Structure 1
Amino acid sequence: MDNTGRGRVAKPSKVRKMLGYTPEVREVSEAEDEVNRMSSRLLDAMGIPGTLTDLPAAAGPCDAVDPDFTTYYTVDHPWALGKADVGNFDTAMENLRSRLPGMGWRITKDGPMNSVARNPEIKAVHTTSGHHVAIRALKQRSGDLKPQISVTLISPCYQAPEGTDLSRA
């Protein structure tokens, strides 16, 4: 990496070695739209009613190769399903267990979180796109926090097209 300040980004020859893949060149808006669509399909797969937080997917730094967010980026989409009947959380998680593989996801973890509450957690990777998701049925939460199903969907690293100003993404 060039460590001279803003613009610290791994050289293209090292990016593949560091990430294990060559990032696809993709417009930020396209990558964000794809993550939003994937989130929608995950919500549908849960198959339970509730209120969705209204946060769209957003680009951020691909820290491994470009911590200053100048050339490479990822798209994160943290969201939650709240105001859902806690009794339906097990149904949502079971639906995900059975439906994710048919949607192209490989489940990498399915079990309790490493926490006092031991809430259920499913982690998966999309086999063709490389997106990762963590889904947690937070039935028991500390303090006044309400139960929810928490989802964090993260894209692989992408390379912004030449001339893209990621600070405006």
Structure 2
Amino acid sequence: MFNTGRGRVAKPSKVRRRLGYTPEVRAVRQAEDEVNRMSSRLVDAMGIPGTPSHIPAAAVPCSGIDPDFTTYYRVDHPWALWEADADGFDTAMDNLRTRLPEMGWRITKDGPMNSRARNPEITAVHTTSRHHMVIEALKTRSGNLKPQIDVTLVSPCYRAPEGTDLSRA
């Protein structure tokens, strides 16, 4: 861990070595808006009717780089497509397999989840922006839980502009 106390952040050279890239300086709102737009495009790419959850993307600490959340951050956006017909989940996943590469995503995993239900899962990385995502078509769920498609979209780490208070972001 690079951060040894409140407000102590790793030197940029250590951050670069740890991440494999130099985090871009970007305003939090701009990064959140970008992730929200990407999520919206994913709903369209699925091509099935349903209601996306209305959880907005949010800045969180950049794990292992700045756990005190003072300088570096990433944007997480976990959301779900509800009220979708489970019979359409195969169509949604097929559409994503075709459309994601056209949208700049490289699929890194396409197969069943490591669970008893073996629901389909696609994992992908955006080739230029370094965003990554996991999409799970939860056709079979325990208890009385309704089927849904879960999406987790995560940005790369960013460096907040000078003077940004991430605790208020």
C-alpha distance in structure 1 between counterparts of 2:3 and 2:67, whole Å = 11
**Counterpart for residue 125 of structure 1:** 125
C-alpha distance in structure 2 between counterparts of 1:64 and 1:101, whole Å = 30
Large movers: runs of 4+ above 4 Å: none
Letter in 2 for 1:118: R
Mapping of 1:80-91 within 5 angstroms?
A: 80-91=80-91
- Does the CA contact (< 8 Å) of 1:121 and 1:136 recur in 2? yes
- Does the CA contact (< 8 Å) of 2:70 and 2:165 recur in 1? yes
Aligned residue pairs total: 168
RMSD between superposed Cα atoms in Å: 0.7
Query: Cα offset for 1:136?
Result: 0.2
- Does the CA contact (< 8 Å) of 1:19 and 1:64 recur in 2? no
**Counterpart for residue 56 of structure 1:** 56
Give the unaligned 5+ runs of structure 1: none
Letter in 2 for 1:43: V
Query: Cα offset for 1:65?
Result: 0.6
Report the TM-score, using the length of structure 1 for normalisation: 0.98
Matched, 1:167 2:167: yes
**Counterpart for residue 18 of structure 2:** 18
Give the unaligned 5+ runs of structure 2: none
Q: Identical aligned pairs, as a percentage?
A: 78
C-alpha distance in structure 1 between counterparts of 2:32 and 2:114, whole Å = 30
CA gap of 1:168–1:109, structure 2 versus 1, over 3 A, is same
Query: Cα offset for 1:12?
Result: 1.1
C-alpha distance in structure 1 between counterparts of 2:47 and 2:15, whole Å = 39
**Counterpart for residue 98 of structure 2:** 98
